[in-house]
Chains A and B, each alone.
Chain A
Amino acid sequence: MLIEILQQTINGLAIGGVYVLIALGLTTVFGILGIAHFAHGSISMFGGYLTYFLATSQGLPVLAAIPVALLAGFLLGVLVEILAYRPVRNANHINAFIVALGLTMMVEGINLQLFGHEQVVIPTGLTRVFRLGGITVPELRLYVIVAAIVLVVAMMIFVERTKTGQAIRAVAENRDAAILMGVNVRTIPLIVFGMSTALGVAAGIMVGALFAIAPGIGEGLVVKGFAVLILGGLGSFPGAILGGTVLGITESIAAGFISSAYKDVIAFVVMILVLLIRPQGLLGRAP
């Protein structure tokens, strides 16, 4: 029993890591700009597809393709901010909402046209399996967990310890005050979208390597990302980390010990139960 619980926890950690990265990207955009960026999942998938394309059609080693895709993701995020969201920043919230939905459909369509309808798996060649007692950890899952931790720590250091990070937090706290303090609020959204999209691309690469990228997968991922946001607390970085990890492990344990047929349902029931007790989410601030 203990071994099964530990195994299910490790199973859940890898997918939890993906949820954390997606949620961190979403929470950064939402916390600072107040935009529900629904296209985040589809753009993540674009990053996964791009890595696959670079690694297979262009013959780049996967380790070289990943930084190229991350950089492309950052630039794509900047473009999305300039072309899609900046024009509606001062308009009614519903405008940004519609732009987000339209962008989702557009990116899905572009993915379909560029990369086709078939699922693709990023070839990593990592097939070793580590065994400890009765627990098995595939090499690839271990690297995904480690990579997710590294990215989260790097993101936290950037936000907490750098001047740009402080500026981002200042804009999130009080935009007007930030302007008065001399923060360049025109460049902050660019950096936020760039970072957020790069994190999303990292999540897309992980999904593509662990599982597969295919049309429609991004939509499911973004739904989970928003669930994590609500579970952890809107706009809270530690909340996104905790929420993503909890959701991943809950899904795994629910499928293992209750029923695989209701895996998603059980995870969302847990989310609702948490919200009943703490409406602001696990680490969100009470209003």
Chain B
Amino acid sequence: MSNHTFTRACAALAITLVAGSSLAAEKKLSVGVADALTGGGAVYGLPQANAVKMAAEEINAAGGIKVGPDVYKIDVIAYDDKANPTEATNAVRKLIDRDGVKYILGFCCSGSTSAVASFIGNEKAVMLVGNAAERSITTKKIPNLVRTRPPADYTGQAAGTFIARKGQKRIAVLGALDVGFYAQYVDSVEREIKKAGGEIIAREVFSLKDRDMTPQLTKIRGLNPDAILVVGYVEPAAFVYRQAVELGMNIPRYGFTSGSEEQFLRVTTSEQMEGVWDLRPTELTLLSASKNGVAYHANYTKKYNASPSPSSPYAYDQLYALKAAIEAAGTVDNTEAVAKALRNLAVPPQVVMQYQPVDGKMFDVNGQAYTSNGAFQWQKGKWVFVEDLPSDSKAYSQFLSTLN
């Protein structure tokens, strides 16, 4: 081989290698997000979408998703479903049919999520549900659907035990009881309170758009309850807490809302919130967070100039679970294999929430993950993690498996 030929061969090899590596670098995996980016559900949906984008940037910066010799960089396409079933269906159809997306994350709110869950089983796609807490989403055994947040009644059972232990017997409920998962939460609380000899003496309702809850609270005040339980979205719930104080109701206030300090303080003062309990999954608060949680909080705050909502890591964790499942399945194209890998996945080390694996796996046979539950109390302007609530993920998983 002449020097000239050798040089040309080297050049050709170099070009091939460079071209090859650049082709690998250009491989892109589009991941969809369908979530409430505007409207009443945006307090949960927008932070979830932000969390997915942040996780994608982190994964890309760390080298992407490795599938055999290929490396995929994640591209996030996010659509606003406004927490509305029709909008959610349209958003997901657009992601699948027009954008060719196979993996769809987000899903903060139960109504919109249930609408998508009703047809996702027929699609060659994998759906990862976040904050939506309606139980039936994971009772239908949809093989290509998993959820990072535990169902509401799993948490309600633990909450009921906690309230009963506090000794309050006559509990008045005020909440978004026309939303299935909130009603399920209250039903579970009621079962536990009844076991302890107590009762729910009122079930008053507010809707997502209600901001004046004084009529309901006045009625409740007249019944002289030992405590009130507020279940619903952050914004109306914040008004309940504020208006209860304005009506002079000096009784314990329990809640199931998952709002951040920032979200509550837009409506109430810290003094009006003092002493309120939030009985919910042990989501993100600095006092309860793992090392990952602390880093997540810092990175999110830096990137978006706002604190992350406590439930936003459900979506962040979705992407890390998906990454691990794709790498385990060794494919991005075979969604069935990835869905199977998700159900066999151990909890990835990068996740923020503190999951309680069932038989060593992050998701149980129903596609459901479980976090621990906790009692948080508002103390001097902050949610303070006070204690874990008793939660048996394995027993609940078995119960869930019996439902259709």
Contacts and interface: CB of A to CB of B under 8 A. Distances in A.
Interface of A: 3-4, 7-8, 11-12, 15, 112, 117-121, 127, 129, 131, 136, 138, 210-212, 214-217, 220, 251-257, 259-261, 263
B38 A4 contact: no
A138 B246 contact: yes
Given A4-B218, A252-B215, 19 more contacts: A4-B222, A7-B218, A7-B247, A8-B215, A12-B215, A117-B38, A117-B39, A127-B269, A131-B248, A138-B246, A210-B212, A211-B211, A215-B38, A216-B39, A216-B209, A255-B215, A256-B218, A260-B215, A260-B219
How would you classify the secondary structure of chain A's contact residues: helix, strand, loop or mixed? Answer: helix
A256 B205 contact: no
B178 interface: yes
A211 B239 contact: yes
B209 A220 contact: yes
B212 A211 contact: yes
B272 interface: yes
B248 A136 contact: yes
A119 B238 CA distance: 12
A255 B38 contact: no
Contacts of A253: 215
Contact of B206 (A15, A215, A220, A260): A260
B178 A261 contact: yes
Nearest to A213: B211
A260 B232 CA distance: 15
Given A216-B209, A260-B206, A119 B218 contact: no
A136 B38 contact: no
Best-buried of A119, A120, A127, A251 by chain B (most CB within 10 Å): A119
A3 B248 CA distance: 14
B179 to A, nearest CB: 12
Contacts of A216: 39, 209
Given A112-B38, A260-B204, A121 B215 contact: no
Nearest to B267: A121
A107 B226 CA distance: 46
B219 A255 contact: yes
Contacts of A251: 215
B205 A118 contact: no
B235 interface: yes
B246 A261 contact: no
Nearest to A112: B38
Nearest to A254: B215
Contact of B211 (A4, A8, A212): A212
A260 B205 contact: yes
Interface in B24-46: 37-40, 42-43, 46
19 contacts: A7-B218, A7-B221, A7-B247, A11-B212, A11-B215, A117-B46, A118-B266, A119-B266, A120-B266, A127-B272, A136-B246, A211-B239, A216-B209, A251-B215, A253-B215, A255-B216, A256-B218, A257-B219, A261-B178
A129 B272 CA distance: 12
Nearest to B215: A255
A114 to B, nearest CB: 14
A220 B210 CA distance: 11
Contacts of B344: none
The 3 closest A-B pairs by CB, nearest first: A211-B211, A255-B215, A117-B38
B214 interface: yes
Contacts of B215: 8, 11-12, 251-256, 260, 263
Best-buried of B178, B206, B211, B248 by chain A (most CB within 10 Å): B211
Contacts of A118: 42-43, 266
Contacts of B246: 129, 136, 138
Interface in B177-203: 177-178
A253 to B, nearest CB: 8
A129 B248 contact: yes
Contacts of B211: 210-212
B143 to A, nearest CB: 35
A119 B235 contact: yes
Nearest to A141: B246
A121 B234 CA distance: 14
Interface string B256-295: 0000000000110101100000000000000000000000
A11 B46 CA distance: 34
Best-buried of B204, B212, B272 by chain A (most CB within 10 Å): B212
A8 B246 CA distance: 14
B175 to A, nearest CB: 10
